[in-house]
Every structure is written in C-alpha cells, then in structure tokens.
Amino acid sequence: MISFNTTKNIQTFKTTFIIVSRDFKIKNSLNLVKDACDFEKLGKANKFLANINQFLVAPCKDEKQIIFIGFGKEESENLDNLDSYRNALGKTLKKAKELEIKDFCVDAFEFAKFYKNKNDFLKDTVLTLELSNYEFDELKSKKQSAKIENISLLTPEEIEEKDEIIKQGQIIAQAINFSRRLSDLPPNIANPKYIAQSALKQAEKFGITHKILNKSEIEKLKMGGVLAVGSGSVNDPYFVQLEYKSNHPNAKKIALVGKGVTFDTGGVSLKPSNYMKGMKYDMSGAATVISTIVALSQLKPKHDVIAFAPLVENMPSGSSYRQDDIVTHFNGMTSLIENTDAEGRVILADALAYAEQEFNPDYIIDVATLTGACVVALGHFYTGMVSTDEKLAKKLIESGEETGDYVWRLPHKKLYAQALKSDVADVANCGNSAFSAGTITAAMYLKKFIKTQNWAHLDIAGTESGIPVDTYLGKGATGVGIKLLVNFIENLD
C-alpha cells in the first residue's frame, strides 16, 4: 500500500508530476512552477502538446524535476474526462515506477472540476493510484518494478477530514486489489477451497459474520446445481456467505450473489482450447461480492449487505454432470442440462433461491462472467445488465457513470423466456439458439429462481479482464463491480 498525504506546496518535493490538459497555458498551478522552470519554452522545444500518452521530464533548479503527463483534450461534455483523468493517473504511476521514483508529489487538482465535490476527487485519485499500482507478479522469480512508497497530492484548497477520505479510497482500492489477485491467481492455486479460505481469512481479519459451507453441507441444503457442476472435479465445491450488518434502524437488505467457477473447461461440452484461455477468471463474480463485503465492513454504510458465492470447478471427467441430466435445485425446481458449459447459471440458480429464502432481501444483485454473448455485444468497457426494477437499474447505471464501472441495460421481456422451455424439466439451462440474445436468455433463466422483482443481473464476462488497451488498470483482472456496488450501497436511501 502507498502512503498518501496532501500538500499545499510542491516546492518542497524533489519530483512533482503535473497532469496537464492540452490547454495547459491556463492551468493555475503552473504559476507555482514558473520560478523553477520555463515550461512553455520547454514544451515548445520538446513538442510537448499534452496529448494522451505524452510526457515531458523537465529538469529544474536545485536538482528538482517536474514531469508533465499529458491528459489530452478536455471534452466540453463530461463524457470521457473521467476516463482520461484516471488513465493519466495510471500513466503517472507507471512513469514513476519506470524512473524508480518512490516518493513524489502529484499536481492534478485542476481536474477536481470533473467530480461532484473535492472529497470525491481526493477519494477517487487515491483509489485510482492504488489500482494503478497493482501488478500480479508474485509468481515471478524476478519482480518487475520498484514499489512506490509515498505520494503527496497537491490540494491548494482545504479538504476537511482529508485523512478519512484518503482512508476510504484506500479501503476500496485494497478490496479491489484483493479481488484482482484472487482472479489473477492461476486455477491450480485458486481452486474453490483456496477462495473459500481466502474469504474466511478476510472475514476473521475484519470481524465479518461468515458461513463457509463444505460439500457435505451443500449436500444437506440440496443445492443440486452446485453439486452437479462441481461433480467432475477433484476439487470439492464450497459455498461462501459473508454478512455486513449496519445496525441502522432503517437499513435496507441487499443480497449480492457472485458466480465462482474457478476454472471453466466447459465440462463434457468441452470448450475449444482458444476459448478456454482466461477461464480462470470465471470466478470473478464471486471475488467481486466477497471483496465488496470486505470494503463495506470497513466503510460501514447504513444498509445490511450479504454476499453469497458458490464455488466450483467445471471439469470433464467420469463423474461429471452430462448433457441430458436433470438437476434438482435448492428450491425444488428442475433444470434440463442441454450444455454443461452453461454452468454459471446452474450454480447461481441455487445461490439466488437460497439468498432469497435465507435473507429475504429488499434487493438482489448477481454478478457473473455469464456469457460470451455479452462480450460480443458490449466488449470490455460496459458491463451488461438485466434488471426487473427501474429504480435499481437507474441507480446502478448512475453509480457506473460515477465510478467508471460502466453498466448498460438490456431488455427483459417475457418473450425471451420462451427460449428456455423444456418438455422434461421446469427449465432448460441453455437458450434455444433460434432466439439468439444469449446474455438476455441467460438472465431470464436466473430470473426463474427468484420471486422478487427487485433484482439486477450484471454480466461481467467482458469487463473483468482482457481490456485491449492500456488503461490505469494495466493487464489482467480489473476487479470490476466493487467500486460500482460500494457506490450504489453508499448512495442508497
């Protein structure tokens, strides 16, 4: 973890990074630098136009240095400004690592105008820098880069309770980086037991109420879907339940349900190997909901939140579940297995029904790397959402815009549910291909296992990893959904 401070004066730092947009001439804080170096002359001489990805190392008097990081052009509407700002912070951190500068100041206060208030600016800046600092290199014998120690943020205006705000940013970032590590760990390490034990460790560390069910307890609960999908693996299934209680009189109850397939081979409906690559990330939904509780238990919002995460490995073997099997779920409903690769929904069916019965929530939100179709439809920058609740959908979209965990809503008319009809079971686990719309039909399957309308399904298949461009998140897992859910819960009345 980086240690953060705020400062009113950059002159005391050996190295200062200044993020500048293309109209940098009007930037107030550049006056502070004026005595130290002639930035305009330097800029011209070095063809520095403050474009995205551009930087300029400006040596100054007294062995100090100022490093300009290009922001690009500011948009007149706020559409892309936050992305550009977060990515510029990412570039700042990367440059500092490259130059092995462990202790520096960042001048970015100019961009506070993109946020609702200064607190949000400070919190998100800390959070984004911590996320930029994450690298999954623990299994490499040679570590790649220097570790950043201290960052001071220039905040010329007073920010009340700044220490508390910095801490909040760090709590969320730490939870996200914990989640990213679980996702990035290879499936031979991060199997269901490993994830369950990691959740248990966090629960013990932060005093979170927890239940970790093993296979025989899952059998007792008759979670036929979890057992079926887990049956082909030598690694037994687990079921994690973590609870945050607010003790607030008007608390709403929110259930979070996350798909935890620690590796998805497809099972006997085996995936071709090029489609199997990256299927270690198929537990990201579980990591998201577990980590959200880890963050909430420290942030202490006024609502009660409980996370449910079924954990299995989907493997082909002599003991695997098969196509044509009929599985009986926790709530007594039956699924015809038409494709063992549509396994996420089969485990979520049990978990959703269980969450509703156990907790009687006001809202249920599930998070899952559910369909390749979602990646085709929305790519890597928007999570797909299907929701039967207008208010919930609207609030999640708003939280997405604020946090950068963008959400796009898809339709949910009953017409789509006809894709799941089966002659021999209550529902088929795989939508009739004539209906297309794989993300929506998958969501319609999930919907059959809950009674409440206050439900949202988040398909993170495209957003949990594999971002094709260089952003502040770098390579590997993104930890998508945690910022989103924390923001949603903190802003819920």
Q: How many residues bind ligand BES (CB under 6 A)?
A: 16
Instruction: Report the sign of the C-alpha dihedral through residues 70, 76, 77, 78, in that order.
Output: positive
Choose the stretch contacting ligand BES; rule: CB under 6 A; options: 237-245, 337-345, 377-385, 446-454.
Answer: 337-345
Interaction partner, residue 242 (ligand BES, Zn ion, none; CB < 5-8 Å by kind): none
The CB-of-286 to ligand BES minimum distance in angstroms stands at 12
Of 119, 111, 294, 124, nearest to 202 by C-alpha is 294
Reading phi first (left if > 0) and then psi (alpha if -120 to 50, else beta), residue 233 is in beta
Interaction partner, residue 371 (Zn ion, ligand BES, none; CB < 5-8 Å by kind): ligand BES
Interaction partner, residue 438 (ligand BES, Zn ion, none; CB < 5-8 Å by kind): ligand BES
Which position among 152, 371, 478, 487 is part of the footprint of ligand BES (CB under 6 A)? 371
Does 369 participate in binding ligand BES (rule CB under 6 A)? Answer: yes
Nearer to Zn ion, 90 or 438 (CB): 438
Q: CA distances (Å), 53 to each of 40, 78, 112, in order?
A: 19, 20, 21
Does 372 participate in binding ligand BES (rule CB under 6 A)? Answer: yes
Q: How many residues bind Zn ion (CB under 5 A)?
A: 6
Interaction partner, residue 456 (ligand BES, Zn ion, none; CB < 5-8 Å by kind): none
Which position among 135, 236, 264, 459 is part of the footprint of Zn ion (CB under 5 A)? 264
The CB-of-269 to ligand BES minimum distance in angstroms stands at 7
Nearer to Zn ion, 12 or 319 (CB): 319
Does 260 participate in binding Zn ion (rule CB under 5 A)? Answer: no
Choose the stretch contacting Zn ion; rule: CB under 5 A; options: 200-208, 244-252, 276-284, 351-359.
Answer: 276-284
Interaction partner, residue 183 (ligand BES, Zn ion, none; CB < 5-8 Å by kind): none
The CB-of-271 to Zn ion minimum distance in angstroms stands at 7
Which position among 124, 341, 350, 366 is part of the footprint of Zn ion (CB under 5 A)? 341
The CB-of-225 to ligand BES minimum distance in angstroms stands at 13
Catalytically active residues, by annotation: 271, 345
* Residues 385-404, interacting with ligand BES (CB under 6 A): none
Does 343 participate in binding ligand BES (rule CB under 6 A)? Answer: yes
Which position among 246, 339, 388, 452 is part of the footprint of ligand BES (CB under 6 A)? 339
Choose the stretch contacting ligand BES; rule: CB under 6 A; options: 88-96, 140-148, 205-213, 338-346.
Answer: 338-346
Nearer to Zn ion, 206 or 275 (CB): 275
Radius of gyration over every alpha carbon of the chain, rounded to an integer in angstroms: 24
Does 337 participate in binding ligand BES (rule CB under 6 A)? Answer: no
Does 282 participate in binding Zn ion (rule CB under 5 A)? Answer: yes
Which position among 124, 282, 304, 313 is part of the footprint of ligand BES (CB under 6 A)? 282
- Asked if residues 171 and 482 have their Cβ atoms less than 8 Å apart, the reply is no
Nearer to Zn ion, 46 or 323 (CB): 323
SS (H, E, C) the chain: CCEEEEECCHHHCCEEEEEEECCHHHCCCHHHHHCCCCHHHHHHHCCCCCCCCCEEEEECHHHCEEEEEEEECCCCCCCCHHHHHHHHHHHHHHHHHHCCCCEEEEECHHHHHHCCCHHHHHHHHHHHHHHHCCCCCCCCCCCCCCCCCEEEEECCCCCCCHHHHHHHHHHHHHHHHHHHHHHHCCCCCCCHHHHHHHHHHHHHHHCCEEEEECHHHHHHCCCHHHHHHHCCCCCCCEEEEEEECCCCCCCCEEEEEECEEEEECCCCCCCCHHHHCCHHHHHHHHHHHHHHHHHHHHHCCCCEEEEEEEEEEECCCCCCCCCCCEEECCCCCEEECCCCCCCHHHHHHHHHHHHHHHHCCCEEEEEECCCHHHHHHHCCCCEEEEECCHHHHHHHHHHHHHHCCCEEEECCCHHHHHHHCCCCCCEECCCCHHHCCHHHHHHHHHHCCCCCCCEEEEECCCCCCCCCCCCCCCCCCCCCCHHHHHHHHHHCC
* Residues 401-440, interacting with ligand BES (CB under 6 A): 430, 438
The CB-of-348 to Zn ion minimum distance in angstroms stands at 10
Nearer to Zn ion, 374 or 482 (CB): 374
The CB-of-194 to Zn ion minimum distance in angstroms stands at 18
Residues that bind ligand BES (CB under 6 A): 264, 282, 339, 341-344, 369-373, 375, 430, 438, 461
